[in-house]
Structure 1
Amino acid sequence: MKRILVYGVTGAGKSTLAARIGERLDIPYHSIDDLMWEPGWVEVPDEIQRDRIREVCAADTWVIDAAYQKWAEIVLPRVDLIVGLDMPRHVSYGRLVRRSLTRLVRRTEICNGNRESFRNLFLDRDSLLYFHFRSWGRKRARMRRWQADPDFPETILMRSPREARDWLASL
């Protein structure tokens, strides 16, 4: 396991688990949000995103915490292991709400100095809280297809926080 993708719905715990895997295995962890967002919540243009992902994936070892479909074909041929966080909706949504509200209240900087705001959490059409509902079924189905496909890289699914903690401890 030298190149690991942690995949799941928004709020499932991808970034936390990916960072811990990187620490545990002494593999560089790359936060996808840091590569995709500039200050002021300016989204990096698609071609620059693709260049950044190519650079990360060209390395011999890495852990990343997402695979956007617009550049997944760069990541998937290079990955050794996919860790899918296939959590029930109430778990991932609960985590997302708690995390977002904590960041909002504490004014926590995330991805290149950006911060959560009331507007981007609750009022924007692109809100993470709304996005979770729009993407949950699609991402969950994708992980399950990957696991079922014998031609795909090894894919393990974690269906509870305890399962993910136990697996991490076993590394």
Structure 2
Amino acid sequence: MQRILVVGVTGAGKSTLARSVGARLGVPYHEMDALYFAGPGWAVNGRLAEDVGGIADGPRWIIDSLGYPEVRDLLWERADTVLWLDYPRRVVMPRVLRRSLRRTVTREALFGGNRETWRGWLSREHPVWWSWAQHGPRRREVARRTRDPRFGPLTVHRFGRPADTAAWLDGL
């Protein structure tokens, strides 16, 4: 495991797992949302493809994302391992709800200095709504990509329950 993608729906725990695996293996961790959002107003990084390309060219990395469309194929072509958090909605939704509620209440600074707001909860792009809407489509896309010969050979670890992920991580 040298080039690792941690994938799953919003709120599954990708960043947490990626940080843990990166620390245990000594693999540099890169947070995709921090690369994607460049500044206030959720501005998008105009150099995303170059920035991610530089990371993907490296010998060792771990990234917590399926990948934004601009860089998705690049990451999948360069990855050697996929850690797939394939949790059901009943697991993911309480997690993303708690996280977004905490971020909103505490005004936690996020990527590019942005913050989740009460008004943001009304947007279809809010993490809670996004996680709900993207659960099925994201699952189908990851399944398709893990079978796609363009992205091989890949070692895929698919975790259906947090306990499975924790047991795998303990054995790492």
Q: Normalised by the size of structure 1, how large is the TM-score? A: 0.91
Residue 106 of structure 2: aligned partner: 106
Q: Deviations over 1:49-75 (max 9, x none)?
A: 111110111111000001223321111
Could you tell me whether the CA contact under 8 Å between 2:11 and 2:93 is conserved in 1? yes
Please state how far the C-alpha of 1:137 moved relative to its aligned partner: 0.6
Residue 154 of structure 2: aligned partner: 153
Please state how far the C-alpha of 1:131 moved relative to its aligned partner: 1.2
Residue 9 of structure 1: aligned partner: 9
Could you tell me whether the CA contact under 8 Å between 1:8 and 1:139 is conserved in 2? yes
Please state how far the C-alpha of 1:90 moved relative to its aligned partner: 1.4
Could you tell me whether the CA contact under 8 Å between 1:147 and 1:156 is conserved in 2? no
Could you tell me whether the CA contact under 8 Å between 1:5 and 1:63 is conserved in 2? yes
Residue 34 of structure 1: aligned partner: 34
Matches of 1:39 and 1:147, distance apart in 2: 33
Label 1:114 to 1:148 Cα distance change in 2 as closer, same or farther (>3 A). same
Could you tell me whether the CA contact under 8 Å between 1:5 and 1:64 is conserved in 2? yes
Matches of 2:129 and 2:6, distance apart in 1: 22
Q: Name the count of aligned residue pairs.
A: 169
Give ranges in structure 2 of 5+ residues lacking alignment. none
Please state how far the C-alpha of 1:43 moved relative to its aligned partner: 2.9
SS of residue in 2 equivalent to 1:115: coil
Code of the aligned partner of 1:55: G
Q: Normalised by the size of structure 2, how large is the TM-score? A: 0.91
Q: Deviations over 1:136-163 (max 9, x none)?
A: 1111112223344564512121111111
Greater shift, 79-88 or 49-58, is seen at: 49-58
SS of residue in 1 equivalent to 2:112: coil
C-alpha RMSD over aligned residues: 1.6
